[in-house]
Amino acid sequence: MSAHLSLENLSVSYGKQRVIDKLSVPSLAAGEVTALLGPNGSGKSTLLRALAGLQACDGAVRLGDRPLNRRHGEAAYLPQTLPPCVHLTVFESLMVAGQATAAGLFRRHGDDEVVALLESLGIAHLARHYLDQLSGGQRQLVGIAQALIREPAVLLLDEPLSALDLNYQFHVMDLLRRETRRRGMVTVIVLHDLNAALRHTDRALMLKGGQLLANGRPEQVIDAATLRAVYGVHGRVERCPQGVPHILVDGLSHHAG
C-alpha cells in the first residue's frame, strides 16, 4: 500500500494573481478516490497540475513523510485536454507509457498484462487501432490506461468523464475505484458531475476562489448549503429507492457567493 498524500500551505500564483491560497489537506488516504469539486475558475485544474509537478507552487506536497517524487513516476497525470496524437497503435502507446517508469507492468508481465488492462476498460478491440483514428471518448479511455500502466502511487485525472457517454462514465468510475483499492493508490479526480462524486468517490474537496471550503466524505461536503453557497442553486440531496444519494436542483439562488 502507498502512503497517504498531504498538502501543506500550497499556493499557486499566475503573475500577481493568487489562484490557490495556502491550501492544506492533512491526509488523502491510499486506496481512496478523492473528488476535487468546485465551480469553473475555482482552481481545480491548477491544483491538480501543481500536484503533478507541472505548475510552480509554494508549500509542500508529501507522500507519507517525504516529498512526492514526480520525476521517478510516483504521480501519473491525465489532463483535461489530451496532447496531439502520435502515429502509434493503442497497444504500442501503452508499451511506451509503461517504459516511462521502472514499474511498467509489461516489463514484468508481458503483453498479456497490457491486453488485460485494455479489456478492463472495454477497449481491447482497439488495440491495433492508431491513436489518430480514435474518437475523443476512446482516446480518453486510452489515456486512463496509459496512466494506470505506470503503476503510480498517485493518480491525478482532470475531468476524465468529459468525453465519455453515460455507460462508459459509470464503467470508468467503477473501475477507477476498484483499481485504486487494489493498487493502494491515492487517486484525485476533478469532477463537475456531483452525482458521480456522491456515488463513486470516498472523499471530496470543495474549492471556491482558490480556497478549500470543505473536506470530508462526499455526503458531508455536498449538501443544500454548499449547493447554494458554491454553485448558486437551491438544491437538495435525496436517496433513490436503491439508497443511492443524488442531487435535485429546484432553481437558482440570488445569494450565491
pLDDT value, residue 104:
44
pLDDT value, residue 111:
83
pLDDT value, residue 130:
95
- Name which residue leads in pLDDT, 70 or 147: 147
Query: Mind listing the pLDDT tens digit for each residue in 177-189?
Result: 999 999 999 999 9
Give a three-class secondary structure readout of the chain: CCCCEEEEEEEEEECCEEEEEEEEEEEECCCEEEEEECCCCCCHHHHHHHHHCCCCCEEEEEECCEECCCCCCCEEEECCCCCCCCCCEHHHHHHHHHCCCCCCHHHHHCHHHHHHHHHHCCCHHHCCCEHHHCCHHHHHHHHHHHHHCCCCCEEEEECCCCCCCHHHHHHHHHHHHHHHHHHCCEEEEECCCHHHHHHHCCEEEEEECCEEEEEECHHHHCCHHHHHHHHCEEEEEEECCCCCEEEEEEEECCCCC
Query: Mind listing the pLDDT tens digit for each residue in 199-227?
Result: 999 999 999 999 999 999 999 999 999 99
Structural domains of the chain, with CATH: 1-74+152-215 (3.40.50.300), 83-151 (no CATH)
Mean pLDDT for all residues in the chain? 90
pLDDT value, residue 163:
85
pLDDT value, residue 100:
65
Binned at pLDDT 50, 70 and 90, residue 143 comes out as very high
pLDDT value, residue 3:
87
Taking residues 219-243, report their average pLDDT: 94
pLDDT value, residue 69:
86
Query: Mind listing the pLDDT tens digit for each residue in 95-134?
Result: 888 876 544 444 544 688 899 999 999 999 999 999 999 9
Binned at pLDDT 50, 70 and 90, residue 32 comes out as very high
Binned at pLDDT 50, 70 and 90, residue 72 comes out as confident
